[in-house]
Structure 1
Amino acid sequence: MLSVPLLTQQTPAGAAPSPPSNSDGVSRIRSDQWHLRYLNVADAQRLSRGEGVTVAVPDTGVDPHPDLRNNLLPGAKIIGDRIGDGRRDPNSHGTSMAGLIAAHGQGGGLGALGIAPRAKILPIVVAAANNYGEADDLAAGIEYAISQQADIISISSTGGSSQRLIRAVESAIRADIVVVAGVGNQPATTSIGYPASHPSVIAVAGVDDKGFHAAISVMGPKIDIAAPAVQIYSTSFGAKYSKGTGTSSATAIVAGAAALVRSKYPDLPASEVIHRLTATAVDKGPSGRDDQYGYGVIDLVAALTADVPPLGFSSSPPAPTVAPTPAAAQPGAGSKDGDSTVRGLLTLGVLVVAGGVWAAVVRRRRHGDDPPPRISR
């Protein structure tokens, strides 16, 4: 059985986590979440807030944080004694990822806010408190998500595969589930692992607060899209907050974006949800798809409003995608992150209090010289 490390941001070995205190954190966390301004989340949430969508988070579990508990469903524990419903997280990675997807905050601008604050989170424990997990345990988590009719699976981990894991991902794709996965963090890994390497999974890379490629993010020809991944604030266990850097966070943000799209366009198949996200991304780097940004940085408002022809649509000549540039943002204040370490189900981020994610989708991946679709605005 293959060990799959979680793509997390973590404190250096032996160091104590240093999240904001509860009293300070509740009042300042929203301003620290620079990615909300960068991605124009307020405008996007006037169009969709993720109602009616369930996002499965196979990870370290999800604590019932005050900013998240209203959206947290009972789930499952796949590993160990299998006792529990997934709503306990001794690590913080899963809670952080769930908060980025669907935290609802505490009103009045207090607390953390997720991309899709009315989506439901299905927590599935597939990794131990040390962030290590097995490929077959992740497979079992995906199988459980399918059985619970999840709409999206967010996987902030990468590593080796197994026959069962490959079958589980393909089953999710056949079930019309959007699967999102992080590409991995340098220097712990230098190539895109599984399941991001699967041709029907949307592979997520990371950018910094200026919209440039994040140094921690792995590069490669299978990257589809990029999202904020540097000093990302979210929920943590014990009603606290965390700060992380890595493609785990970017993955959860894209999963939240998929929830917005699935909520606004409930009849779209998963393949078209992914197509809409990649087709409306803000082109970065060399024109067209490239190995740092994929098709570009996610644009939430464009994904919810653009006239995107369906897959298979052909026009002459094909036009490159140019989406509105995300609003400029200033990174939130906070202490400096510790060095990144990668453990177990290689979690895609380095949390001051640890975190992680994973997911899949049905679509034809466009790579290399394939032209992007024409977008009417």
Structure 2
Amino acid sequence: MIAWLGRAGACLAAIVAVLVTGASPARADTVRDQEWHLAALRIAEAHEVSQGEGVVVALPDTGVDTKHAELAGALLPGKGFGEGNEQSDGTGDFIGHGTAMAGLIAGRGLPGGGGILGIAPKAMILPLQTLRNEDGNGNPAFLAAGIDWAVGHGAKVVCVAGGAGASAQLREAVERALRADVVVVAAVGNAPAAKAVAFPANLPGVLAVAGTDRDGNHAAISVSGPEVVIAAPAVDIASTRLGGKYMTATGTSDATAIVAGVVALVRAKYPALSGPEVVRRITATAIDKGKPGRDDEFGFGIVDPVGALTMEIAPESPSVSVGSGGAAAPRKTGGVWWIVAGGVVLGGVVVGVALRRRASRF
């Protein structure tokens, strides 16, 4: 959702957000029910194999709210960059975007099976406060500095849930991260304002994430293009919000955070795999959608966490080049996505609907 637009500007997107009240224990289950993507991706089954233990996911974003219950114990000391963030340890989120991404990646849930559960609930988030201005008047240099700092502080995954104007400094930071065996996951951008895959998602070696809807179809909000590598849920995605509240939002940054969580699951299960091998495992087990093989809307297909964690990947599997690594051709299979057709009902937990145009949100 957040785009580091830089001075050159970048992608604009219209976002629909549904704000939900803070959850008490009696209402926590209702909040969990909104996470339709958990059932669609068979996350309960995936968690029987891996929950992301020991994997550090760097989140260069607006910071992360330490007061949200689902994120207690999930945050490492981070750092702030630019825009008055220099004294920050990566917390103190003023906007809420980073807090939402953190919940999607590593939310711990609440007692009794309620609250927001992340894709990798035992992974650790390294919060990097690189943007404070909700209008996105940031600088790609701050994002680049955050990525470099994360690589030096143990991150094995970097989740760039936004985009930036093309920048040599940012490109070089991404390249250094890839050489350091870090998997960089980035959002492709939101249509119709964005017409092409965003920077740095369009860089070689980056796991560029497009969006799907509740039925597993290409989401209207999602940009398409030849750089798309994988797809994940991007419509009506529930997560944590500032002040102990919750929200649903639509955008490719939500899909990006989900895929970053899947990368954490795979890295925890297969710690000996290199970054390109992790990407290959994820793409080789993706559920092929759209045109047979790789296409501009789904990339290699919809991410399948269970498949990525459990399927054997034959060394002789067909592959195509994806940036600095290789990615096996996706498998054809029936759509597990149809189990969530019809979606969910927010019911009594909805307290308001905010329709806002945010220049910075993916």
State if a TM-score over 0.5 links the two structures.
yes
Gaps of 5+ in 1: 349-377
Give the structure 1 partner of residue 163 of structure 2. Answer: 158
1:252-271 alignment, distance < 5 Å = 252-271=257-276
Aligned residue among 66, 70, 73 for 1:67? 70
Conserved? CA contact 2:134–2:358, under 8 Å: no
Give the secondary structure class of the aligned counterpart of 1:70: coil
- Name the amino acid aligned to 2:62: T
Distance 1:5 1:118, change over 3 A: farther
**Cα distance, 1:103 vs structure 2:** 0.3
The TM-score normalised by the length of structure 1 is 0.84
Distance 1:307 1:19, change over 3 A: same
Does residue 286 (structure 1) correspond to residue 291 (structure 2)? The answer is yes
Does residue 199 (structure 1) correspond to residue 217 (structure 2)? The answer is no
Conserved? CA contact 1:229–1:250, under 8 Å: yes
Give the structure 2 partner of residue 49 of structure 1. Answer: 51
Greater percentage in strand = 2
- Name the amino acid aligned to 2:357: T
Overall identity of the aligned pairs, in %: 45
Does residue 179 (structure 1) correspond to residue 179 (structure 2)? The answer is no
Conserved? CA contact 1:4–1:157, under 8 Å: no
Give the structure 1 partner of residue 19 of structure 2. Answer: 18
- Name the amino acid aligned to 2:46: A
Give the secondary structure class of the aligned counterpart of 1:206: strand
Conserved? CA contact 2:289–2:298, under 8 Å: yes
**Cα distance, 1:332 vs structure 2:** 2.8
Conserved? CA contact 2:70–2:107, under 8 Å: yes
Distance 1:106 1:49, change over 3 A: same
- Name the amino acid aligned to 2:343: P
Distance 1:313 1:211, change over 3 A: closer
- Name the amino acid aligned to 2:130: V
Which whole-Å CA distance do the structure 2 matches of 1:339 and 1:187 have between them?
A: 16
Give the secondary structure class of the aligned counterpart of 1:105: strand
**Cα RMSD, aligned residues only:** 2.3
Give the structure 1 partner of residue 332 of structure 2. Answer: 322
The TM-score normalised by the length of structure 2 is 0.88
Conserved? CA contact 1:51–1:263, under 8 Å: yes
**Cα distance, 1:309 vs structure 2:** 3.0
Conserved? CA contact 1:67–1:106, under 8 Å: yes
Higher relative contact order (CA 8 A, sep 6+): 1
Of the structure 1 ranges 122-131 and 162-171, higher mean CA displacement relative to structure 2 is found in 122-131
Spell out, residue by residue over 1:157-202, the C-alpha distance to the aligned partner (whole angstroms, 9 max, x if none).
Answer: 1131211111100000010000000100011211111011001101
Q: How many residues align?
A: 339
Distance 1:53 1:286, change over 3 A: same
Spell out, residue by residue over 1:206-265, the C-alpha distance to the aligned partner (whole angstroms, 9 max, x if none).
Answer: 001110010000011111110000000001111111110010100000000000000000
Which whole-Å CA distance do the structure 1 matches of 2:333 and 2:104 have between them?
A: 23
Which whole-Å CA distance do the structure 2 matches of 1:157 and 1:7 have between them?
A: 11
Does residue 88 (structure 1) correspond to residue 92 (structure 2)? The answer is yes
- Name the amino acid aligned to 1:326: V
Spell out, residue by residue over 1:290-322, the C-alpha distance to the aligned partner (whole angstroms, 9 max, x if none).
Answer: 111111101110000111135x7569xx97612
Aligned residue among 222, 227, 230 for 1:222? 227
Aligned residue among 128, 149, 153 for 1:144? 149
Give the structure 2 partner of residue 302 of structure 1. Answer: 307
Which whole-Å CA distance do the structure 1 matches of 2:164 and 2:105 have between them?
A: 22
Gaps of 5+ in 2: 1-5, 320-327
Which whole-Å CA distance do the structure 2 matches of 1:3 and 1:137 have between them?
A: 14
